[in-house]
Amino acid sequence: MNVSIYRGTVVYAAEKERLAAFSGANIVVEDGFVKNVLKQVPEEYAGLTVKDFGDALIIPAFSDLHIHASQYAQRGVGMDKLLFEWLRDYTFPQEAKFADCRYAEKVYDALVKDLIRHGTFHASIFTTIHTEASDILFRKLAERGLYAYTGKVNMDCNAPDYLCEKTAESLRDTERFLLEHQGYATVKPILTPRFAPTCSEKLIKGLGKLAKKYACGVQTHLVESIAEAAWTKELFPDYSCETAIYEQAGLLDYGPSVFAHVIFPAREDITILRKSRSVSVHCPDATANITAGIMPAAALLKAELPVAVGTDIGAGPNPAVYRQIARAVQLSKLKAFFEPEGNEPISFAEAFYMATKAGGSIFDRVGSLEPGYRFNALVLDGLADDFSEMTPEEQLERFCYAGDDRNIIARYLDGREISP
Ligand SMILES: [Zn+2]
């Protein structure tokens, strides 16, 4: 058995409303899993060297449940556009470039490094319609041992000609992608219809059959903006709500279902999301940048839905999930201010929980540092001032608002130290 011990201030969110913090703690890691967090090193480990991080914080690595890998190349660009202009002028032309695998290599390499740099070790990621380029990302994630779901995008209507697939081809390529990516330890394929307006009913039903055949989950966008929700209703008039389109196709039965944005859910959406334990992903920067709106995060948490956090690169310009924790709190306050009915601010602890344990829940034992969880962890330093006392919780909050990757002095994945 391989045992390591790390000393520092351990902080994690075991439950929604509360952070657990242990100063001067020893975290015992056995074969990559947290065995215990203890004040004293137990007698049985007396001969082991303790890696002492002093007053630094040891926290769980982050989970980013909504990323467009191809859009990494356009992050922070075109941010003064509205959604449909931004798609037409930046995003779709950018996605078309992924027909070239050499280009995909470069972009996906840079993205994976940047995820590690910012402490995101668990992610759910869209690629583009291109199967070969999607394979490149899958392999890069697997090589680095990151925990991820990733899938090639499907769209067979209402998309520019150069990105619009034939329904049968889209299904055939998706099946090939699923078949070729079975059996990896940490990365798994996931079905990725872009969003309802760019997918025919035939395509969505076909994906439902693949979900059953390969026991896999789905990721997509859901009730993202008023315009998108209205358009979907027009295109799918026979469904009680947008989530029902995926439910009735059998897409919510076999793996995680991950829905980005969920800004304008109807009561029927909430019912299905709760029943299927689907995860709603809050991407505050992105939905502000494209003026989609602000997720009613407090209301979804109150309705007992699992809610995670995403950067939504590239509508969100920054791969740092910790910044989205801060933004989630900030925007929940704005929403409660402008729309007080039914909306409340969320707390920092809730937002941190969303970005770690809730997001981690679609993987295997990641997102916390409770005993039994994988030691997927970050060590943070340089957050306290020397002229005043700060609690560990305050230092963590400061990191999310004002820190950056320079504060991350060590990164552990399955108990191994890694670097970008
Ligand atoms: Zn998105």
> Which runs of E-coded beta strand occur in 143-184?
147-151, 153-154
The answer to whether 413 and 401 are in contact (CB under 8 A) is no
Distance (angstroms) between ligand 1 centre and the Cα of 108 equals: 17
Query: With helix as H, strand as E and coil as C, how does 272-328 read?
Result: HHHHCCCEEEECHHHHHHCCCCCCCHHHHHHCCCCEEECCCCCCCCCCCHHHHHHHH
Distance (angstroms) between ligand 1 centre and the Cα of 126 equals: 8
Distance (angstroms) between ligand 1 centre and the Cα of 26 equals: 39
Distance (angstroms) between ligand 1 centre and the Cα of 102 equals: 24
What pLDDT score was predicted for residue 300? 97
Per-domain residue ranges of the chain: 3-60+368-418, 62-360
Place of tokens 């909430």: 270
Whole-angstrom distance, CA of residue 282 vs CA of residue 116: 21
Distance (angstroms) between ligand 1 centre and the Cα of 382 equals: 33
Distance (angstroms) between ligand 1 centre and the Cα of 143 equals: 25
Distance (angstroms) between ligand 1 centre and the Cα of 13 equals: 26
Assess whether the previous peptide bond of 76 is cis (omega < 30° from 0).
no
What pLDDT score was predicted for residue 420? 96
H/E element, 125: strand 120-126
Beta-ladder partners of 192: 153
Top-level CATH class of 62-360? alpha beta
Tokens of 223: 């009730």
Residues 6 or more apart whose Cβ sits within 8 Å of residue 158: 197, 198
Distance (angstroms) between ligand 1 centre and the Cα of 259 equals: 9
pTM (two decimals): 0.97
Distance (angstroms) between ligand 1 centre and the Cα of 366 equals: 23
Distance (angstroms) between ligand 1 centre and the Cα of 203 equals: 19
Pairing label, strands 192-193, 218-222: unpaired
Distance (angstroms) between ligand 1 centre and the Cα of 49 equals: 45
pLDDT tens digits in sequence order for the chain, 420 residues long: 899 999 999 999 999 989 999 999 999 999 999 999 999 998 999 889 999 999 999 999 999 999 999 999 999 999 998 888 899 999 999 999 999 999 999 999 999 999 999 999 999 999 999 999 999 999 999 999 999 999 999 999 999 999 999 999 999 999 999 999 999 999 999 999 999 999 999 999 999 999 999 999 999 999 999 989 999 999 999 999 999 999 999 999 999 999 999 999 999 999 999 999 999 999 999 999 988 899 999 999 999 999 999 999 999 999 999 999 999 999 999 999 999 999 999 999 999 999 999 999 999 999 999 999 999 999 999 999 999 999 999 999 999 999 999 999 999 999 999 999
Tokens of 411: 């990164």
Distance (angstroms) between ligand 1 centre and the Cα of 142 equals: 22
Distance (angstroms) between ligand 1 centre and the Cα of 246 equals: 17
Distance (angstroms) between ligand 1 centre and the Cα of 315 equals: 7
Q: What type of residue sits at position 293?
A: G
Q: In this structure, which CATH number among 2.30.40.10, 3.30.70.1230, 3.40.50.300, 1.10.3720.10 belongs to the domain 3-60+368-418?
A: 2.30.40.10
Distance (angstroms) between ligand 1 centre and the Cα of 267 equals: 23
What pLDDT score was predicted for residue 292? 87
Distance (angstroms) between ligand 1 centre and the Cα of 357 equals: 21
Residues 6 or more apart whose Cβ sits within 8 Å of residue 186: 141, 142, 145, 146, 147, 148
Buried b (16+ CB within 10 A) or exposed e, 206-236: bbbebbeebebbbbbbbbbbeebbeebeebb
DSSP 18-57: EEEEEEEEEEEEETTEEEEEESS--GGGTTSPEEEEEEEE
What pLDDT score was predicted for residue 1? 87
Beta-ladder partners of 157: none
What pLDDT score was predicted for residue 84? 82
Distance (angstroms) between ligand 1 centre and the Cα of 111 equals: 16
What pLDDT score was predicted for residue 291? 84
